[in-house]
Amino acid sequence: MPKISLPFGPYHPALGEPEYFQVVVDGENIVAVDFDLGYNYREMEKKVLNFIWDKATHFLGRICGICSSAHTQAFTLAVEKVNGMEVPPRAKWIRTFGAEIERISSHLLWLGLFGEMAGFEPLFYLSWGAREHALNILEKFGGRRVHYAYMAFGGVHQDLKPTPGMEAELRGLKQKYEEIREMVMASDLLADRFRGVGVVTPQQARDYGLVGPTARGSGVNNDIRKDMPYNSYEEHDFTVPIYKGGDSYARAMVRLDEIRESIRILEQIVNGLPKGKLTSVNSFTKSRLGEATQSVEAPRGENFHFVRAGELTPQFLRVRPPTFANLSVIPEMLKGRMVSDVPVVISSIDPCFACTDRVILIDRSDKSIREVQL
């Protein structure tokens, strides 16, 4: 049988964002997989160099709509390192609250899409229904459902006031999460789509430098919140879920367990938020010159920012989002699998292409476009 190239992308129902996966198949069996990045390139690292500090933070939140907080936190923490700023304990707890509610929102969004990829639409609607609670909490706390701009240098802009409404949303979220978890665990037919599919061994996970739930699903204990604690993570009681299966099911279970742990952290914050100031500086307009790096645990894994600070604006910024680290293992995961597994495997790493597409080169002479691997 002749080999056919199946184009998964740039626009395909299996991909939430434009990206290109070339899947060469012999009948239903996958022979080779390659991917091409760059369809979401927006020149953000270059544009941010023109913005004053406060504006730069808000702008970097737009790198991604789902892990907006992870980018603003990594950037702000790096600039605070350069300037030796102290952050008040209350602000640290509020930052943790923002990061964890974002993790829940991101994981529930992913779970819905994961169900959709396996042809199970009810999971999509139920997960996104539960996610509404997380978005309502974000709206009450940050003023918006996406691109919540609560981060400020030296603290936070918005205070967290646990109201009965917010607590009711948290209870609703917890209840719906338990229902969804029960449904996923109970369905053998659904689990069959994920078990043994896209296996990554612990050695491969280390060799490819995988991060986040993708690595933890292969038994690699790798979580920035525990390894290099920031915000108030040291003060909270939570565990890092680790599964050793290495398949899509293990990665799904890691994320499902993480939602439960994040809810635990949120409850601790709502019940024990320390009193005090929201920020240590009134306004931040001039920075010391210097450079710093900061990693935060975004919902998809380690999100790394390198910042060189100028006086009024950043001088240089480089972002290494988690999907960039995880994407390279996809051809390995699909080796020897069938076409039916492609959407499940791609979505099992929870890719975010808006975060990933960072640098692109255009050769003026022949107008060719090339993605630069950093």
Partner 1 sequence: MPARLLVPFGFEWIKRKVDALVERRIGPPLLQPVYDWFKLWGNETLLPDGAGIFFRLAPWLLFLCSLVAVYVASIRPPWALLELLALLSTMTLLKMFLARAVTSPFTIHGLGRLGSMKLALDPAFPLAFLAAAFLWGFDMNWPLKAAILLPLAVATALAELELPPFDLSHAKSELVAGWKTELSGRWLALVTYAENARMVAVSLMLAALLGPTHLWLKATLIFTLLSALSIALPRMHLAKAIRWLSFLNVLALAEVIACLSWASWLV
Binding site for partner 1 (CB under 8 A): 4-7, 12-14, 25, 27-28, 115-126, 129, 187, 189-190, 192-193, 338-343
Nearer to partner 1, 11 or 206 (CB): 11
For the bound state, the minimum distance from the C-beta of residue 339 to partner 1, rounded and expressed in Å, comes to: 6
Nearer to partner 1, 240 or 339 (CB): 339
Nearer to partner 1, 118 or 135 (CB): 118
Nearer to partner 1, 185 or 372 (CB): 185
For the bound state, the minimum distance from the C-beta of residue 246 to partner 1, rounded and expressed in Å, comes to: 19
**Long-range interactions of 198-205: CB distance < 8 A, separation 24+:** 198/247, 198/248, 198/333, 198/334, 198/337, 198/341, 198/344, 198/345, 198/348, 199/245, 199/246, 199/247, 199/333, 200/246, 200/329, 200/332, 200/333, 201/246, 202/244, 202/246, 204/329, 204/332, 205/246, 205/329
Nearer to partner 1, 115 or 322 (CB): 115
For the bound state, the minimum distance from the C-beta of residue 245 to partner 1, rounded and expressed in Å, comes to: 17
What single letter denotes the amino acid at residue 18? Answer: P
For the bound state, the minimum distance from the C-beta of residue 345 to partner 1, rounded and expressed in Å, comes to: 11
Tell me the three state secondary structure of residue 306.
Answer: strand
For the bound state, the minimum distance from the C-beta of residue 124 to partner 1, rounded and expressed in Å, comes to: 8
Strand segments, DSSP code E, in the chain are 3-8, 20-26, 29-36, 151-152, 155-156, 290-298, 301-309, 314-320, 360-363, 368-371
- The CA distances from residue 107 to 18, 67, 213, 258, in Å, are 20, 10, 10, 8
| Residue pair 84/153 in contact by the 8 Å Cβ criterion | no
For the bound state, the minimum distance from the C-beta of residue 183 to partner 1, rounded and expressed in Å, comes to: 10
Nearer to partner 1, 5 or 203 (CB): 5
| Residue pair 318/305 in contact by the 8 Å Cβ criterion | yes
